[in-house]
Amino acid sequence: MLARKYLFPRVIELNYQAGRRLGVNVYLIDGGSEFLLIDVGYLDAVDEIVELIRRMDFKLSSCKMLVATHADADHIQGLARAKEILKTKVAAHPLSVEPLESGDEIMTFATIKAQNVELPMPPCKVDILLNEGDTIAVGDLKLKVWHTPGHTEGQLSFKMGNLLFSGDNIYKDSCVGVIDAHHGSNLPAFIESLKRIQRDDAEYLLPSHGPIFRRAPAILQKAIDRLTQYQYMADFGTCATSWPLLKEWERDINEGRVPK
C-alpha cells in the first residue's frame, strides 16, 4: 500500500502524491466512505492517476464523481477515459456541457493551429449539472459550488471549510487563467469572480495549476487591477469592453481634426 500524502485533512493532490508533475492539479477529496476527483488532466496521465488511487487503498468503485472545474483540454482530455475506468459520473457547470459532450477542439483549446497544438479531444457525457449555490456531498464532507466565470463561461470553484478550490481564477503569482475569446473569456465577469474570492474568508486557495497558497488580498488585487486595465486595451481584442483610443480617433475624424 502507498502512504497517503494529505495536504490538508481529507485532501490529496495527485501531483504531490506522485512526487512528480502529472499535469494540472488533481484533487482527491476523501469523504471516508467515498471520494471524488476535481479535474483529471490529460489523457496520458489517467492510468497513472487511477493506479495511484488504487495503491493508496481507495476502492475505485467508491468514486462518487469526477468534477470538471471547466472544459479546457488540459483539465478534461482524460475525463472520458477516467469515467470509463472508474465507472462513475461526471459533473460540470451547464455552460461546460457543450464543449465536453461535443469534444469541440477549439472551445477546449485542444487545437491551436498557429502553435501546432493538435490534441484528440474525446467527448464525454455530463451526468450531473452543478450550479451556483449547489452542495456536493461526498461521504461526510460537503463542498459548496461557486460559479466563477471569466476564464471560461463554465468555470467553477468549490468551498470546503477554510479551503477554496479556485480553478483557473488565480495563481500564487497573481497570474490568471488564459484570456481568450475562443473559449468564452469575459473580463468584467473575471474581475467580479476575483473580487468574490478576495472578499471570502477562505484561508487557503487550491488552484488548478501551481502551488497551493494562503489567500492574500494583495495577490488578488494585483490581478484585479491588471484585468481592469485589460478591459480598455486593444491587446485583448473582443474580450476588451472598449478601446478609448479608437473613440478618440473617430471623434477627430468627425470633427475634421488632423494630426499636427
119 backbone dihedrals φ, ψ, rounded to 5°? -105, 140
Alpha-carbon distance of 202 to 156, in angstroms, equals 16
The answer to whether the Cα torsion of 227, 179, 145, 58 is positive or negative is negative
pLDDT digits (tens, 9 = 90+) for 181-196: 888 899 999 999 999 9
Contact indicator for 51, 17 with CB cutoff of 8 Å: no
pLDDT digits (tens, 9 = 90+) for 4-57: 999 999 999 999 999 999 999 999 999 999 999 999 999 999 999 999 999 999
User: What is the DSSP code (8-state) at residue 228?
Assistant: H
For residue 104, being part of any structural domain is answered with yes
* Domain count of the fold of the chain: 1
User: Domain with 80 in it: what CATH number?
Assistant: 3.60.15.10
- 197-202: long-range contacts (C-beta < 8 A, 24 or more apart)? 197/148, 197/157, 197/164, 197/166, 197/169, 197/170, 198/224, 200/159, 200/164, 201/162, 202/159, 202/162, 202/163, 202/164
For residue 153, being part of any structural domain is answered with yes
For residue 185, being part of any structural domain is answered with yes
For residue 177, being part of any structural domain is answered with yes
For residue 258, being part of any structural domain is answered with no
Beta bridge partners of 27: 13, 38
Tell me the three cell numbers of residue 26: 488533481
For residue 254, being part of any structural domain is answered with no
Contact indicator for 92, 60 with CB cutoff of 8 Å: no
Please tell me the predicted confidence (pLDDT) of residue 252: 85
pLDDT digits (tens, 9 = 90+) for 140-158: 999 999 999 999 999 999 9
By the 10 Å C-beta count (0-12 exposed, 13-18 middle, 19+ buried), 118 is classed as exposed
Q: Is the pLDDT of residue 176 over 80?
A: yes
Percent residues over pLDDT 70 in the chain: 100
For residue 39, being part of any structural domain is answered with yes
The residue segments making up the domain with residue 51 are 6-247
Label residue 256 by pLDDT band (50, 70, 90). confident
> Within a 10 A sphere around the Cβ of 106, how many other Cβ atoms?
13
For residue 154, being part of any structural domain is answered with yes
> Within a 10 A sphere around the Cβ of 133, how many other Cβ atoms?
9
pTM score: 0.95
